[in-house]
Amino acid sequence: MALTFSGGLDLQKSRKASLNRITALPTPRYITLDCSGDKNAAFKPFLAVGEHVNAYQCVGERVFGDGSVPVYSGISGTVKEIVAGADGQPSGMIIGYEEKQQKAEIKGYGGTLAELTPEKITEIVKNAAIPCRGSYGFAYKRLQAASGKLKRFILNCCESEPGLTSRSAVITDDVDAVLNGAKIIMHALDIRNCEIAVERENGPVIDLISSKIKRNSLFSIRKTKQKYPQDEEIALIYAICGVQALDADEPERTKCAVFDAETAADVYRAVVYGVPYCERVVTVESENLLCPIGAPVLDLLEFCNVHAETAVKIISGGPLRGEVLKKLDEPVRPDSAAITVIYEGDGSPIPEMTQCNLCGRCVNVCPSRIIPYKLAELSRQKKYSKCADYGISACCECGCCDYVCPAYIPIKKLIRTAKHKKTAPKRDKNETDKPV
């Protein structure tokens, strides 16, 4: 029987499993390295306008309270602009492309895996600026937090949303990089087994991985039910380990860490070849494009012959989790697994929002086992500080609640607003302590 979690949506039955290939996007006209998303980090550019940049070159760093992480360019060209944030401080960099692309020299770790210490792996992963999901933001922070505390390591090979195939494409393109990256992560975590979570229906990927791992005791395949959001950390830990995580990032309690297949492949390339993180695979229509981080979405759409003017909306991400794009020059970001194009007739217009009728559907589908309608109402009333009592940090923003709500309440958006306000240093002046 396939492993699964409680809640979620059964949407993916029609997806046809196949081995998906990756196509490299031609070098975009420019890239925008936008570091404005993280309010706790400042961007420090190392180059000035007019200076030349090679692909794989470090062009600046994100500076946090407790350290810094480099920022790399995925193309070669010239610095066109240092972008300023709302506070007037540098928040990013625009790099224009050049005809003949050049790469900076890179060098991998030359020794054997046995010689690599967990600290050295963490250092390489940090210097390569490899991201990971969840509040850690970077894979090195997750490795540091998990070090010596875990019993289980799940390699997430499930797709993130219906219609997306970017993760399967990464596995198909270089399954050895994914599995060898998983071995390096196991070594860093001091764990002897990697549980590969893959949807039962994704037969081609299961066959491919099985043909590689054969009877290798380091790996076991755990087949999950094809249900959304099976790739979420909370849902995966429940499906595989039977433990309900209370937060997306609590390895101390669950004794379990999840790393995505893409992260494993990135770790492998960083350790063995010295490749820094500066590109990712993005699903656009039926294509999987390897794009430099910062490539304008319009370049991806044009390459896939998508005429933006014929679309009703274009979403950065999948249809359930993604954000509608206001401008098509928005850059590809580390979390841009897809660009989803919605055409007229893809769905009926969203009716007017009405009042919550306490039907409980949002509670039934919530994989985080929280009470979405309660959090939405607290957010609507600006009672942000009370949201912690209702487990707001466990919300993985999957959007299942929005999908089923008969009152068309934008529950995920309200919860996201409350999450951001919650971290604001001052209590909102409109916030009251009245009961909901």
Residue ranges binding ligand SF4 (CB under 6 A): 356-362, 365-368, 370, 372-373, 395-401, 404-407, 409, 411-412, 415
Taking the complex as a whole, the smallest distance from the CB of residue 340 to ligand SF4 amounts, in Å, to: 17
Kindly state the smallest distance separating residue 357's Cβ from ligand SF4, in Å: 5
Q: In angstroms, what is the minimal distance from the CB of 34 to ligand SF4?
A: 25
Count Cβ atoms below 10 Å from residue 278 Cβ, excluding itself.
23
Residue pair 229/12 in contact (Cβ under 8 Å)? The answer is no
**Cβ-based nearer residue to ligand SF4, 90 or 391:** 391
Task: Quote the CA–CA distance of 153 and 161 in Å, as a whole number.
Answer: 22
The whole-angstrom separation of Cα 276 and Cα 273 is 9
* Residue 211: how many other CB atoms lie within 10 Å: 9
Q: Round to whole Å and give the CA distance between 277 and 24.
A: 16
Q: Closer CB to ligand SF4, residue 240 or residue 411?
A: 411
> How do strand 152-156 and strand 194-199 relate by DSSP bridges?
parallel
Sheet with 58-64, side-by-side order of all strands: 42-45, 58-64, 67-72
* Residue 233 C-beta: closest distance to ligand SF4, Å: 11
Minimum CB–partner distance for residue 108 and ligand SF4 (Å): 39
Single-letter residue type at 216: N
**Least distance between ligand SF4 and beta carbon 359 (Å):** 4
- In terms of CB distance, is 124 or 400 closer to ligand SF4? 400
Closer residue to ligand SF4 in complex, CB, 116/404: 404
- Amino acid identity at 21: R
**For residues 143 and 395, which CB has a smaller minimum distance to ligand SF4 in the complex?**
395
Supply φ then ψ for residue 407, to 5 degrees. Answer: -95, 0
- Dihedral of the alpha carbons of 312, 315, 319, 323, in degrees to the nearest 10: -120
- Residue number with CB closer to ligand SF4 (26 or 360): 360
